[in-house]
Amino acid sequence: MQLKDIFLRLTSRIVLLIAIIMKKIVILLFIAFSLFVTGQAQTIVYQEDFNSGISSWTVYSSGTATQSWDTTSTHYAFSFDGTPFIITYDWSGITMVEEISSPTFNAATSNPLFLTYEFSFMYQSTALQGLVDVYDGSAWQNVRTFSGTDTVGIDTIDISAYANANMQVRFTASCSGGYNWEHDFMIDNVKVYEMPATAISENDSQPPYPNPSENALTLKDINEADIDFIGIYSVSGDLVKVCEKKTVIDISDLEAGSYILRIIVNGAFTDDMLFIKQ
Ligand SMILES: [Ca+2]
């Protein structure tokens, strides 16, 4: 009898553990989709894939390291999509500040503006920092700092606050020295784009409406019984809220700003939709 109790308890804990792991996998899949799928048309302001080199970008190197930003298609076994990308690295354990900045491009817009890029940051053992900055027309503004954790992925940042006619993007690897071990900072597929938050009415074909909205979004052409999931994400891909499976979505509790709405209908993702909460 006791053995049976132990067995049942153990089984229920294993089932719970599996459920937690499955939930995390599903959330990670949703985040991955948020980076690739967008329902509203993007207007690309600037993009660079480095497949033709880095001649249009400006490299600034200081410190005692001899390496600086360069292009390669693979670094040891690593590559993004098989095409050239930019990399700076150091394995001498000495100081370096390696900057690479884009040409100036016109990003003067009142629409939400986003920066996205693929990255690999390998800090290994010491004080490497990877910095991502944008030029707001008068000064560089830091929008992301990598340090202390090896990370690989696609980053998306809302840079609306810095939109201007003379924008630039800059990546910096900064190392204050340390162990004799390798540090890498690798970047590819830099893109700056705006996603117009045009007002959407009930007569428009694209849900949700109205957009922008203060309290609720209404989905068109979707049968409530077919909805499997409705989630609201930040523009950087974090799950903010799981909503009731209804065609009228309550957003009254959200802070004002830009969000991504993701819906699963009959087991299939619909396009992600950017909306503005007023
Ligand atoms: Ca490339």
Domains of the chain from N-terminus onward: 2-41+197-277 (2.60.40.10), 43-194 (2.60.120.200)
User: Which residues, 6+ apart, have CB-to-CB distance to 52 below 8 Å?
Assistant: none
Measure 54 CA to ligand 1 centroid, in angstroms.
Answer: 11
Alpha carbons 28 and 20: distance in angstroms, whole number:
12
DSSP state of 272: P
The per-residue pLDDT for range 58-70, each reduced to its tens digit, is 999 887 766 789 9
Cα 53 to ligand 1 centre (Å): 9
Closest by CA position to 208, among listed 168, 239, 243, 183: 243
**Could you count the other beta carbons within 10 Å of the beta carbon of residue 73?**
13
* Protein residues with C-beta less than 5 angstroms from the ion ligand 1: 49-51, 83, 188
Q: Kindly report the pTM of this predicted structure.
A: 0.62
* Ligand 1 centroid – CA 71 distance (Å): 9
Residue 185: strand, helix, or coil: strand
pLDDT of residue 33: 41
* Spacing, Cα 52 to ligand 1 middle (Å): 8
Percent residues over pLDDT 90 in the chain: 35
**CA nearest to 85, candidates 191, 189, 192, 173:** 189
Confidence of residue 11 (pLDDT cuts 50, 70, 90): low
